Protein backbone atom coordinates (compact mmCIF):
# COMPACT_ATOMS: atom_id res chain seq x y z
CA UNK A 1 0.00 0.00 0.00
CA UNK A 2 2.83 2.31 0.96
CA UNK A 3 4.60 1.53 -2.32
CA UNK A 4 1.45 2.40 -4.24
CA UNK A 5 1.23 5.75 -2.45
CA UNK A 6 4.89 6.49 -3.20
CA UNK A 7 4.33 5.58 -6.84
CA UNK A 8 1.30 7.84 -6.99
CA UNK A 9 3.28 10.71 -5.49
CA UNK A 10 6.13 10.16 -7.97
CA UNK A 11 3.71 10.08 -10.89
CA UNK A 12 2.06 13.25 -9.61
CA UNK A 13 5.43 15.01 -9.26
CA UNK A 14 6.41 13.83 -12.75
CA UNK A 15 3.24 15.29 -14.15
CA UNK A 16 3.90 18.60 -12.41
CA UNK A 17 7.49 18.60 -13.68
CA UNK A 18 6.43 18.01 -17.29
CA UNK A 19 3.80 20.70 -16.96
CA UNK A 20 6.31 23.20 -15.55
CA UNK A 21 8.87 22.40 -18.23
CA UNK A 22 6.39 23.03 -20.98
CA UNK A 23 5.38 26.43 -19.63
CA UNK A 24 1.72 27.17 -19.11
CA UNK A 25 0.26 24.79 -21.69
CA UNK A 26 -3.24 23.86 -20.62
CA UNK A 27 -2.52 24.88 -17.06
CA UNK A 28 -6.12 25.90 -16.42
CA UNK A 29 -7.36 22.42 -17.31
CA UNK A 30 -4.96 20.78 -14.88
CA UNK A 31 -5.76 23.04 -11.94
CA UNK A 32 -9.40 22.02 -12.13
CA UNK A 33 -8.51 18.38 -11.48
CA UNK A 34 -7.85 16.80 -8.10
CA UNK A 35 -4.54 14.89 -7.73
CA UNK A 36 -6.19 11.48 -7.96
CA UNK A 37 -8.09 12.62 -11.06
CA UNK A 38 -4.83 13.84 -12.57
CA UNK A 39 -3.20 10.46 -12.00
CA UNK A 40 -6.15 8.58 -13.40
CA UNK A 41 -6.30 10.85 -16.44
CA UNK A 42 -2.57 10.39 -17.01
CA UNK A 43 -2.89 6.66 -16.86
CA UNK A 44 -5.94 6.35 -19.09
CA UNK A 45 -4.86 8.74 -21.80
CA UNK A 46 -1.32 7.39 -21.95
CA UNK A 47 -2.48 3.80 -22.33
CA UNK A 48 -5.02 4.71 -24.99
CA UNK A 49 -2.65 6.92 -26.96
CA UNK A 50 0.21 4.43 -26.79
CA UNK A 51 -1.97 1.54 -27.89
CA UNK A 52 -3.45 3.52 -30.75
CA UNK A 53 0.01 4.52 -31.95
CA UNK A 54 1.51 1.04 -31.74
CA UNK A 55 -1.48 -0.98 -32.92
CA UNK A 56 -3.53 1.45 -35.01
CA UNK A 57 -5.31 -1.24 -37.02
CA UNK A 58 -6.81 -2.79 -33.89
CA UNK A 59 -8.75 0.29 -32.86
CA UNK A 60 -11.87 1.87 -34.22
CA UNK A 61 -11.26 5.62 -34.44
CA UNK A 62 -13.10 7.61 -31.79
CA UNK A 63 -14.42 11.10 -32.25
CA UNK A 64 -11.47 13.43 -32.61
CA UNK A 65 -10.55 14.80 -29.23
CA UNK A 66 -10.70 18.55 -28.94
CA UNK A 67 -7.40 20.25 -29.52
CA UNK A 68 -5.82 21.52 -26.35
CA UNK A 69 -7.27 19.06 -23.86
CA UNK A 70 -5.05 18.01 -21.00
CA UNK A 71 -5.26 14.30 -21.74
CA UNK A 72 -4.16 14.71 -25.36
CA UNK A 73 -1.32 17.06 -24.41
CA UNK A 74 -0.04 14.78 -21.66
CA UNK A 75 -0.10 11.69 -23.84
CA UNK A 76 1.81 13.46 -26.59
CA UNK A 77 4.40 14.74 -24.11
CA UNK A 78 5.09 11.32 -22.63
CA UNK A 79 5.04 9.43 -25.92
CA UNK A 80 7.50 11.94 -27.31
CA UNK A 81 10.03 10.60 -24.80
CA UNK A 82 9.77 7.05 -26.16
CA UNK A 83 12.85 6.13 -28.27
CA UNK A 84 10.85 5.02 -31.30
CA UNK A 85 8.74 8.17 -31.24
CA UNK A 86 11.90 10.25 -30.88
CA UNK A 87 13.33 8.43 -33.90
CA UNK A 88 10.19 9.23 -35.85
CA UNK A 89 10.39 12.89 -34.82
CA UNK A 90 14.08 13.01 -35.74
CA UNK A 91 13.37 11.53 -39.14
CA UNK A 92 11.43 14.67 -40.04
CA UNK A 93 13.94 17.14 -38.61
CA UNK A 94 15.45 17.81 -42.01
CA UNK A 95 12.12 17.37 -43.80
CA UNK A 96 11.38 15.79 -47.13
CA UNK A 97 10.42 12.44 -48.54
CA UNK A 98 13.95 11.05 -48.24
CA UNK A 99 13.54 10.94 -44.48
CA UNK A 100 10.28 9.08 -44.82
CA UNK A 101 11.98 6.57 -47.09
CA UNK A 102 14.86 6.20 -44.61
CA UNK A 103 12.42 5.72 -41.75
CA UNK A 104 10.63 3.03 -43.72
CA UNK A 105 13.93 1.27 -44.44
CA UNK A 106 14.97 1.24 -40.79
CA UNK A 107 11.61 0.03 -39.54
CA UNK A 108 11.66 -2.78 -42.11
CA UNK A 109 15.21 -3.73 -41.19
CA UNK A 110 16.92 -2.09 -44.12
CA UNK A 111 16.89 -2.25 -47.88
CA UNK A 112 16.40 -5.94 -48.65
CA UNK A 113 17.39 -6.01 -52.27
CA UNK A 114 19.06 -9.38 -52.47
CA UNK A 115 19.01 -12.86 -50.99
CA UNK A 116 20.27 -12.10 -47.53
CA UNK A 117 21.11 -14.15 -44.50
CA UNK A 118 19.85 -13.37 -41.06
CA UNK A 119 22.20 -13.59 -38.09
CA UNK A 120 21.68 -17.36 -37.80
CA UNK A 121 22.63 -17.91 -41.44
CA UNK A 122 19.10 -18.56 -42.70
CA UNK A 123 17.61 -16.80 -45.67
CA UNK A 124 15.23 -13.93 -45.05
CA UNK A 125 11.69 -14.71 -46.17
CA UNK A 126 11.17 -11.60 -48.30
CA UNK A 127 7.94 -10.65 -50.00
CA UNK A 128 9.80 -9.39 -53.05
CA UNK A 129 12.19 -11.42 -55.16
CA UNK A 130 15.57 -11.59 -53.48
CA UNK A 131 18.98 -11.54 -55.05
CA UNK A 132 22.12 -13.42 -54.36
CA UNK A 133 25.14 -11.25 -53.87
CA UNK A 134 28.33 -12.80 -55.06
CA UNK A 135 29.52 -15.87 -56.83
CA UNK A 136 32.30 -16.10 -54.25
CA UNK A 137 29.75 -16.86 -51.57
CA UNK A 138 28.04 -19.37 -53.83
CA UNK A 139 31.29 -21.21 -54.56
CA UNK A 140 32.08 -21.63 -50.88
CA UNK A 141 28.67 -23.03 -50.04
CA UNK A 142 25.81 -23.82 -52.38
CA UNK A 143 23.42 -23.45 -49.49
CA UNK A 144 24.64 -19.99 -48.52
CA UNK A 145 23.37 -16.86 -50.25
CA UNK A 146 23.88 -13.29 -49.25
CA UNK A 147 21.43 -11.97 -47.95
CA UNK A 148 25.91 12.97 -43.55
CA UNK A 149 34.45 21.10 -45.22
CA UNK A 150 36.85 23.59 -45.23
CA UNK A 151 39.72 21.19 -45.71
CA UNK A 152 38.04 18.30 -47.55
CA UNK A 153 39.14 17.66 -51.11
CA UNK A 154 36.31 19.65 -52.68
CA UNK A 155 37.20 21.73 -55.69
CA UNK A 156 36.25 25.26 -56.64
CA UNK A 157 33.29 25.52 -59.03
CA UNK A 158 34.21 24.70 -62.60
CA UNK A 159 33.25 26.94 -65.50
CA UNK A 160 30.72 24.45 -66.81
CA UNK A 161 29.14 23.64 -63.46
CA UNK A 162 25.36 23.46 -63.58
CA UNK A 163 24.78 26.63 -61.58
CA UNK A 164 23.45 29.74 -63.26
CA UNK A 165 25.86 32.68 -63.45
CA UNK A 166 23.56 34.93 -61.44
CA UNK A 167 23.19 32.41 -58.64
CA UNK A 168 24.54 33.92 -55.43
CA UNK A 169 26.83 32.12 -53.02
CA UNK A 170 24.00 31.95 -50.50
CA UNK A 171 22.21 29.56 -52.84
CA UNK A 172 25.12 27.15 -52.77
CA UNK A 173 25.38 24.35 -50.27
CA UNK A 174 27.50 23.82 -47.21
CA UNK A 175 31.26 23.44 -46.94
CA UNK A 176 32.05 21.54 -43.75
CA UNK A 177 35.32 22.05 -41.92
CA UNK A 178 37.57 19.18 -40.93
CA UNK A 179 37.04 19.82 -37.22
CA UNK A 180 33.32 19.13 -37.62
CA UNK A 181 33.86 16.08 -39.76
CA UNK A 182 36.45 14.66 -37.36
CA UNK A 183 33.72 14.33 -34.74
CA UNK A 184 32.59 10.74 -35.30
CA UNK A 185 29.11 11.22 -33.86
CA UNK A 186 28.58 14.37 -35.93
CA UNK A 187 29.80 12.68 -39.09
CA UNK A 188 27.68 9.59 -38.53
CA UNK A 189 24.48 11.46 -37.70
CA UNK A 190 24.73 14.01 -40.52
CA UNK A 191 25.94 11.91 -43.44
CA UNK A 192 25.08 8.28 -42.87
CA UNK A 193 22.18 5.91 -42.36
CA UNK A 194 23.32 2.61 -40.84
CA UNK A 195 21.24 -0.51 -41.23
CA UNK A 196 20.53 -2.09 -37.80
CA UNK A 197 22.14 -5.42 -38.77
CA UNK A 198 25.58 -3.89 -39.24
CA UNK A 199 27.90 -1.45 -37.47
CA UNK A 200 30.65 0.99 -38.38
CA UNK A 201 33.50 2.19 -36.18
CA UNK A 202 35.11 5.58 -35.58
CA UNK A 203 38.32 4.18 -37.04
CA UNK A 204 36.56 3.35 -40.29
CA UNK A 205 34.90 6.77 -40.48
CA UNK A 206 38.09 8.76 -39.93
CA UNK A 207 37.18 11.82 -42.01
CA UNK A 208 40.72 13.18 -42.23
CA UNK A 209 41.99 9.90 -43.58
CA UNK A 210 39.07 9.31 -45.95
CA UNK A 211 39.22 12.82 -47.39
CA UNK A 212 42.96 12.55 -47.93
CA UNK A 213 42.62 9.52 -50.20
CA UNK A 214 43.32 10.17 -53.87
CA UNK A 215 40.22 9.31 -55.87
CA UNK A 216 41.36 10.78 -59.18
CA UNK A 217 41.20 8.88 -62.45
CA UNK A 218 44.08 8.93 -64.92
CA UNK A 219 42.50 10.04 -68.18
CA UNK A 220 45.74 9.61 -70.14
CA UNK A 221 45.59 5.82 -70.18
CA UNK A 222 44.34 4.02 -73.26
CA UNK A 223 41.17 2.02 -73.04
CA UNK A 224 38.03 2.43 -70.96
CA UNK A 225 38.51 4.19 -67.61
CA UNK A 226 35.00 4.00 -66.13
CA UNK A 227 32.60 1.08 -66.35
CA UNK A 228 28.86 1.50 -65.77
CA UNK A 229 26.57 -1.50 -65.41
CA UNK A 230 23.27 -2.51 -63.81
CA UNK A 231 22.83 -5.56 -61.61
CA UNK A 232 19.09 -4.90 -61.87
CA UNK A 233 18.59 -3.89 -65.47
CA UNK A 234 14.82 -4.29 -65.22
CA UNK A 235 14.40 -1.47 -62.70
CA UNK A 236 12.02 1.02 -64.23
CA UNK A 237 10.24 4.23 -63.38
CA UNK A 238 6.70 5.55 -63.18
CA UNK A 239 6.47 6.09 -66.93
CA UNK A 240 8.85 3.44 -68.24
CA UNK A 241 7.73 1.69 -71.41
CA UNK A 242 7.64 -2.11 -71.07
CA UNK A 243 10.24 -3.68 -73.30
CA UNK A 244 12.13 -0.43 -73.90
CA UNK A 245 15.43 -0.47 -71.94
CA UNK A 246 16.06 3.19 -72.81
CA UNK A 247 13.23 4.11 -70.43
CA UNK A 248 14.66 2.12 -67.51
CA UNK A 249 17.76 2.44 -65.35
CA UNK A 250 19.73 1.25 -68.40
CA UNK A 251 18.71 4.39 -70.30
CA UNK A 252 19.79 6.50 -67.34
CA UNK A 253 23.15 4.71 -67.37
CA UNK A 254 23.65 5.45 -71.05
CA UNK A 255 22.95 9.15 -70.48
CA UNK A 256 25.40 9.22 -67.56
CA UNK A 257 28.01 7.53 -69.73
CA UNK A 258 27.45 10.12 -72.48
CA UNK A 259 27.81 13.01 -70.02
CA UNK A 260 31.06 11.58 -68.66
CA UNK A 261 32.42 11.02 -72.16
CA UNK A 262 31.70 14.68 -72.90
CA UNK A 263 33.90 15.51 -69.92
CA UNK A 264 36.84 13.57 -71.33
CA UNK A 265 36.45 10.11 -69.78
CA UNK A 266 36.47 6.87 -71.73
CA UNK A 267 33.37 5.06 -70.51
CA UNK A 268 32.19 1.53 -71.10
CA UNK A 269 28.48 0.96 -70.53
CA UNK A 270 27.60 -2.68 -70.02
CA UNK A 271 23.93 -3.33 -70.71
CA UNK A 272 23.92 -7.06 -69.96
CA UNK A 273 20.88 -8.45 -68.19
CA UNK A 274 21.48 -10.28 -64.92
CA UNK A 275 17.99 -10.30 -63.44
CA UNK A 276 16.04 -12.18 -66.11
CA UNK A 277 16.01 -15.96 -66.58
CA UNK A 278 14.11 -17.40 -69.52
CA UNK A 279 12.34 -14.08 -69.90
CA UNK A 280 11.16 -14.04 -66.28
CA UNK A 281 12.30 -11.62 -63.58
CA UNK A 282 14.65 -13.55 -61.29
CA UNK A 283 17.08 -11.73 -59.04
CA UNK A 284 18.09 -14.75 -56.99
CA UNK A 285 21.56 -14.83 -58.58
CA UNK A 286 21.80 -11.38 -60.16
CA UNK A 287 24.83 -10.28 -58.13
CA UNK A 288 26.63 -13.56 -58.87
CA UNK A 289 26.04 -13.28 -62.60
CA UNK A 290 27.05 -9.63 -62.59
CA UNK A 291 30.25 -10.36 -60.70
CA UNK A 292 31.26 -13.07 -63.11
CA UNK A 293 30.97 -10.88 -66.20
CA UNK A 294 32.29 -7.66 -64.66
CA UNK A 295 35.32 -9.48 -63.24
CA UNK A 296 36.11 -10.82 -66.71
CA UNK A 297 35.76 -7.37 -68.27
CA UNK A 298 38.08 -5.88 -65.65
CA UNK A 299 40.66 -8.58 -66.37
CA UNK A 300 40.47 -7.80 -70.09
CA UNK A 301 40.57 -4.01 -69.55
CA UNK A 302 43.00 -3.14 -66.73
CA UNK A 303 42.62 0.51 -67.73
CA UNK A 304 39.23 0.61 -65.94
CA UNK A 305 39.64 2.53 -62.69
CA UNK A 306 36.06 2.91 -61.48
CA UNK A 307 33.09 0.55 -61.58
CA UNK A 308 29.60 2.02 -61.11
CA UNK A 309 26.55 -0.16 -60.48
CA UNK A 310 23.61 2.16 -61.17
CA UNK A 311 20.28 1.27 -59.55
CA UNK A 312 17.03 2.90 -58.60
CA UNK A 313 15.58 2.54 -55.09
CA UNK A 314 12.25 1.02 -54.10
CA UNK A 315 10.00 3.08 -51.81
CA UNK A 316 6.37 3.21 -50.71
CA UNK A 317 4.11 4.24 -53.56
CA UNK A 318 3.23 7.53 -51.84
CA UNK A 319 6.89 8.53 -51.49
CA UNK A 320 8.66 10.68 -54.08
CA UNK A 321 12.38 11.40 -53.83
CA UNK A 322 12.64 14.76 -55.61
CA UNK A 323 14.18 18.18 -55.22
CA UNK A 324 14.21 21.35 -57.35
CA UNK A 325 17.54 22.58 -58.71
CA UNK A 326 18.19 25.10 -61.47
CA UNK A 327 14.52 25.08 -62.37
CA UNK A 328 14.43 21.31 -62.86
CA UNK A 329 12.77 18.60 -60.83
CA UNK A 330 15.41 16.02 -60.02
CA UNK A 331 15.31 12.61 -58.43
CA UNK A 332 17.44 12.40 -55.31
CA UNK A 333 20.12 9.74 -55.19
CA UNK A 334 21.99 7.78 -52.54
CA UNK A 335 25.50 6.37 -52.35
CA UNK A 336 25.61 2.89 -50.88
CA UNK A 337 28.37 1.03 -49.00
CA UNK A 338 28.59 -2.61 -48.03
CA UNK A 339 30.69 -3.34 -44.93
CA UNK A 340 30.85 -7.16 -45.14
CA UNK A 341 30.02 -7.32 -41.46
CA UNK A 342 27.06 -8.13 -39.23
CA UNK A 343 26.61 -6.54 -35.83
CA UNK A 344 26.23 -9.90 -34.15
CA UNK A 345 28.85 -12.07 -35.83
CA UNK A 346 31.41 -9.54 -37.03
CA UNK A 347 33.20 -9.75 -40.42
CA UNK A 348 31.67 -11.98 -43.10
CA UNK A 349 34.83 -13.78 -44.12
CA UNK A 350 33.50 -15.26 -47.36
CA UNK A 351 32.52 -11.74 -48.48
CA UNK A 352 35.98 -10.28 -48.06
CA UNK A 353 36.39 -6.79 -49.52
CA UNK A 354 39.92 -5.36 -49.45
CA UNK A 355 38.58 -2.00 -50.64
CA UNK A 356 36.11 -1.08 -47.89
CA UNK A 357 38.20 1.94 -46.84
CA UNK A 358 38.54 3.10 -50.46
CA UNK A 359 34.81 2.64 -51.04
CA UNK A 360 34.02 4.69 -47.91
CA UNK A 361 36.48 7.41 -48.94
CA UNK A 362 34.92 7.73 -52.39
CA UNK A 363 31.31 7.95 -51.19
CA UNK A 364 32.17 10.52 -48.49
CA UNK A 365 34.06 12.72 -50.94
CA UNK A 366 31.19 12.49 -53.42
CA UNK A 367 28.55 13.20 -50.78
CA UNK A 368 30.38 16.29 -49.48
CA UNK A 369 30.95 17.56 -53.01
CA UNK A 370 27.28 17.13 -53.80
CA UNK A 371 26.23 18.89 -50.57
CA UNK A 372 28.45 21.81 -51.52
CA UNK A 373 27.28 22.33 -55.09
CA UNK A 374 23.88 20.62 -55.20
CA UNK A 375 22.38 20.85 -51.71
CA UNK A 376 19.54 18.46 -51.03
CA UNK A 377 20.23 16.24 -54.01
CA UNK A 378 22.21 13.48 -52.31
CA UNK A 379 20.58 11.47 -49.57
CA UNK A 380 22.57 10.10 -46.66
CA UNK A 381 25.11 7.41 -47.49
CA UNK A 382 23.53 4.05 -46.68
CA UNK A 383 25.67 1.47 -44.88
CA UNK A 384 24.66 -2.16 -45.06
CA UNK A 385 26.11 -5.46 -43.89
CA UNK A 386 26.93 -7.17 -47.19
CA UNK A 387 29.30 -6.56 -50.10
CA UNK A 388 27.32 -5.83 -53.30
CA UNK A 389 30.29 -6.46 -55.61
CA UNK A 390 32.05 -3.38 -54.24
CA UNK A 391 35.16 -5.53 -53.89
CA UNK A 392 35.65 -5.35 -57.65
CA UNK A 393 37.46 -2.00 -57.54
CA UNK A 394 38.81 0.55 -55.03
CA UNK A 395 36.60 3.09 -56.79
CA UNK A 396 33.55 0.84 -56.97
CA UNK A 397 30.22 2.58 -56.47
CA UNK A 398 26.63 1.49 -56.00
CA UNK A 399 24.28 4.42 -56.59
CA UNK A 400 20.52 4.30 -55.96
CA UNK A 401 18.99 7.00 -58.18
CA UNK A 402 15.42 7.96 -57.40
CA UNK A 403 12.81 5.24 -57.13
CA UNK A 404 9.99 3.57 -59.00
CA UNK A 405 7.78 6.60 -58.21
CA UNK A 406 10.00 9.00 -60.16
CA UNK A 407 9.57 9.81 -63.84
CA UNK A 408 12.27 9.00 -66.35
CA UNK A 409 12.84 12.72 -66.99
CA UNK A 410 13.47 13.33 -63.27
CA UNK A 411 16.08 10.57 -63.37
CA UNK A 412 17.73 11.93 -66.52
CA UNK A 413 17.79 15.44 -64.99
CA UNK A 414 19.73 13.98 -62.06
CA UNK A 415 22.38 12.44 -64.29
CA UNK A 416 23.68 15.93 -65.13
CA UNK A 417 24.70 16.99 -61.60
CA UNK A 418 25.75 13.41 -60.82
CA UNK A 419 28.18 13.48 -63.74
CA UNK A 420 29.46 16.85 -62.51
CA UNK A 421 30.04 15.54 -58.97
CA UNK A 422 31.81 12.44 -60.27
CA UNK A 423 34.00 14.63 -62.49
CA UNK A 424 34.85 16.91 -59.56
CA UNK A 425 36.17 14.00 -57.50
CA UNK A 426 37.59 11.89 -60.32
CA UNK A 427 39.13 14.95 -61.97
CA UNK A 428 41.03 16.01 -58.86
Residue 211 has pLDDT above 80, yes or no: yes
Contact 200, 194 (CB under 8 A): yes
Contact 290, 229 (CB under 8 A): yes
Residue 299 has pLDDT above 90, yes or no: yes
Residue 62 has pLDDT above 80, yes or no: no
246 band by pLDDT with thresholds 50, 70 and 90? very high
Residue 109 has pLDDT above 50, yes or no: no
Report d(CA 35, CA 242) in Å as an integer.
67
Characterize the bridge pairing of strands 346-347 and 192-194: unpaired
Q: What number is the average pLDDT over the span 276-284? A: 92
168 band by pLDDT with thresholds 50, 70 and 90? very low
Torsion angles phi and psi, residue 329, rounded to 5: -85, 120
Report d(CA 324, CA 56) in Å as an integer.
35
Question: Domains along the chain?
Answer: 2-81 (no CATH), 135-427 (3.40.630.40)
- 121-153 tens-digit pLDDT: 443 333 332 333 333 333 333 332 232 222 233
Range with the poorest average pLDDT among 32-46, 170-184, 330-344: 32-46
pLDDT of res. 172: 75
Report d(CA 206, CA 360) in Å as an integer.
10
Residue 56 has pLDDT above 90, yes or no: no
Length of the chain (residues): 428
Q: Is the pTM of this model over 0.75?
A: no
Tell me the DSSP string of 266-283: -EEE-----SEETTEE--
pLDDT of res. 212: 98
- 1-55 tens-digit pLDDT: 555 566 666 666 666 665 555 554 444 444 444 555 555 655 565 555 544 444 4
Q: What number is the average pLDDT over the span 95-105? A: 51
Nearest Cα neighbor of 391 from 321, 318, 239, 287 is: 287
Grouping H, G, I as helix, E, B as strand and the rest as coil, residue 352 is: coil
Amino acid sequence: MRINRIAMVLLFLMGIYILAASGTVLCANLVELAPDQVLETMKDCLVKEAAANIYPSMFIPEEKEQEGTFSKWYAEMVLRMHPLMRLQAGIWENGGSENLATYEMLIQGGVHDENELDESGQEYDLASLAEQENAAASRQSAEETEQTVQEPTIQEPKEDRLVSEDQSASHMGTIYNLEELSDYEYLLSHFYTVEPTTAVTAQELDAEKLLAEDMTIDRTVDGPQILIYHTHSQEGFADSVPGDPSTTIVGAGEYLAELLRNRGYKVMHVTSVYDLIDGELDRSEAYSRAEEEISQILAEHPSIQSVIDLHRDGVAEGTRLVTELNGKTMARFMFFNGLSRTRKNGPIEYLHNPYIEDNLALTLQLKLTCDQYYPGLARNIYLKSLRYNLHLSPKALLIETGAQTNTLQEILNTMEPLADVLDTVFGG
